[in-house]
Amino acid sequence: MAKILIVDDDSLARESLARIIKKMGHEASEAGSVGSAREKLKEEAFDLVFSDVRMPDGSGLDLLPEIRASSSAPEVIIVTGFGDPDGAELAIKKGAWDYIEKPLSVKPVMLCVERALQYRDKKRTASQPVALKVEGIVGASPKLRACLDTLAQAASSEANVLITGETGTGKELFAWAIHRNSARSGRNFVVVDCAALPETLVESTLFGHVRGAFTGADKPRDGLVRQADGGTLFLDEIGELSVSIQRAFLRVLQEKRFRPVGGGQEVSSDFRLVAATNRHLEDLIRAGGFREDLLFRLRTLALELPPLREMKEDIKDLMLHYLVRFCEQYDIPMKAYSPDFLEVLLNYDWPGNIRELIQALEKAIISAKEEPVLFPKHLPDHIRIHLARAAVLQKRAPTPSPETGPAAAGPALNLKDFREAELTRIEKNYLSSLLRRTNGEVGEACRISGLSRSRLYTLLKKYGLKPSG
């Protein structure tokens, strides 16, 4: 008998779902809000959670990572009455087992429950506790733990992996960890830095060349694809590869055979592919800069690394880790930090993500010289200025709106602050009317605005706006 939690503010929907579940011989528990679901998840272990999307105190989609991160890590089925394909996509991306629409009918619900529980059973018997080697990956936030789950899944398979994430989120670190934990760890992990290789070098670097293939090719040379034989080939910044190289690489990926530059004979290489990019490959495909068939091949497994601003609970651990590391590196006594130092780190948005945090900490340690305690003044100026400006703006123009916008404050603000506040107001107005015009259809809103899906969601979140669903 499995324990199933139903999270829905609609008591009738909850009750009818509970009836179906009990009829199947399982135990049903109910929560009428996100808050109450959180409490129940803390108190009890569940095998499966049905969660509605829209509830008065929050969204089931936002609750999803917390459910997955709770100690029993139940499977999640998202239920909604709004028929929103983007919500479905988001649910799956966030790790939901499945997605069903209201009104619920008995058979699909029973099938869904049965399959989810079967999957959970199999997962439980198959998974043996394995200690992942994850040097350098620091933190314990639910989002990071979800990434580590995918890492473990990737390491135990031979599937191609596509790692995405903003710059500085640690894509190479995860790629390396996948290799280190895989059956190929005894062989080469070969990095191809697609952004650093000029177009003229890419082909011979990847595929090697025979003697005399071009001026200066005095000797034959193996390319990186050959050197990855038996190991892992990591294509970093794959979005930077030219379309012609993408075409050549697609063939290599399909056949694991290729021809070195100037060569007549094919060479084989049994490599496992991990690729990474900070670009939105779907947007690139639309612009003709990336091959759709290559993307399909690449993302057998997808690992999306969240930006640091979405994992702020990891900042303290990261700070402590790197303080120790830099103090060792510079051979200086361990430094303490003031509470406001940590507060600044927590309040800043870190557009450059973990890499920017690491650089800021290194700069702070260098600036502090002999001082034993780190204060905000030791951090890079641009961080302190950014926060100071945000604080001033908040005080002076707390809620810019069309009616009372910063224009009303007029000369009370300096030009920069005024411009920033006006831009904020205009952006919010634009997004509100965009949602009205598209009836909250995210796909249509992306098409009209030219924004990527993730950028649109980020902006909607920033302004507290909601698409349909």
Smallest distance from the beta carbon of 298 to other proteins, in angstroms?
Answer: 20
Query: Judged by CB, which is closer to other proteins: 233, or 446?
Result: 233
Q: Are 259 and 223 in contact (CB under 8 A)?
A: no
Smallest distance from the beta carbon of 135 to other proteins, in angstroms?
Answer: 9
Query: Judged by CB, which is closer to other proteins: 117, or 308?
Result: 308
Smallest distance from the beta carbon of 398 to other proteins, in angstroms?
Answer: 29
Smallest distance from the beta carbon of 216 to other proteins, in angstroms?
Answer: 4
DSSP conformation class of 411: G
Residues binding other proteins (CB under 8 A):
136, 172, 176, 188-191, 193, 195-198, 200-201, 205, 216, 218-219, 221-222, 224, 227, 325, 329-331, 355, 358-359, 362, 366, 382
**Residue found by looking up tokens 């909601």 in the block:** 466
Burial 175-203 (b: 16+ CB within 10 A, else e): bbbbbbbbebeebbbbbbebeebeeeebb
Q: Are 184 and 191 in contact (CB under 8 A)?
A: no
Q: Is 299 helix (H, G, I), strand (E, B) or coil?
A: coil
Pairing of strands 336-337, 373-374: parallel
Give the pair of three-digit tokens for residue 458: 């980020």
Query: Judged by CB, which is closer to other proteins: 201, or 346?
Result: 201
Smallest distance from the beta carbon of 164 to other proteins, in angstroms?
Answer: 20
Identify each DSSP E strand in 267-365 by its residue range. 267-268, 272-277, 301-304, 336-337
Angle between helices 85-93 and 442-449 (to 10 degrees): 90
Identify each DSSP E strand in 81-160 by its residue range. 98-101
Handedness of CA 44, 49, 53, 55 (dihedral sign): negative
Smallest distance from the beta carbon of 329 to other proteins, in angstroms?
Answer: 6
Give the pair of three-digit tokens for residue 350: 């870190």
Query: Judged by CB, which is closer to other proteins: 188, or 300?
Result: 188
Q: Are 177 and 305 in contact (CB under 8 A)?
A: no
Q: Are 297 and 160 in contact (CB under 8 A)?
A: yes
Pairing of strands 54-55, 58-59: antiparallel
Query: Judged by CB, which is closer to other proteins: 297, or 325?
Result: 325
Residue 80: how many other CB atoms lie within 10 Å:
22
Query: Judged by CB, which is closer to other proteins: 112, or 305?
Result: 305
The answer for 400, left when phi > 0, alpha when psi is -120 to 50, beta otherwise, is beta
Smallest distance from the beta carbon of 238 to other proteins, in angstroms?
Answer: 15
Beta bridge partners of 80: 101
Smallest distance from the beta carbon of 120 to other proteins, in angstroms?
Answer: 37
Smallest distance from the beta carbon of 160 to other proteins, in angstroms?
Answer: 19
In order of 121, 296, 330, 341, the CA distances from 336 in angstroms are 47, 48, 15, 10
Q: Are 314 and 139 in contact (CB under 8 A)?
A: yes
Query: Judged by CB, which is closer to other proteins: 193, or 255?
Result: 193
* Greatest C-alpha distance within the chain: 78
Smallest distance from the beta carbon of 258 to other proteins, in angstroms?
Answer: 18
Q: Is 93 helix (H, G, I), strand (E, B) or coil?
A: helix
Beta bridge partners of 31: 7
Smallest distance from the beta carbon of 389 to other proteins, in angstroms?
Answer: 16
Query: Judged by CB, which is closer to other proteins: 230, or 402?
Result: 230
Query: Judged by CB, which is closer to other proteins: 16, or 359?
Result: 359
Query: Judged by CB, which is closer to other proteins: 216, or 464?
Result: 216
Query: Judged by CB, which is closer to other proteins: 207, or 418?
Result: 207
Query: Judged by CB, which is closer to other proteins: 136, or 372?
Result: 136
Smallest distance from the beta carbon of 79 to other proteins, in angstroms?
Answer: 44
In order of 161, 220, 287, 404, the CA distances from 167 in angstroms are 18, 36, 21, 37
Query: Position 366: which residue type?
Result: I
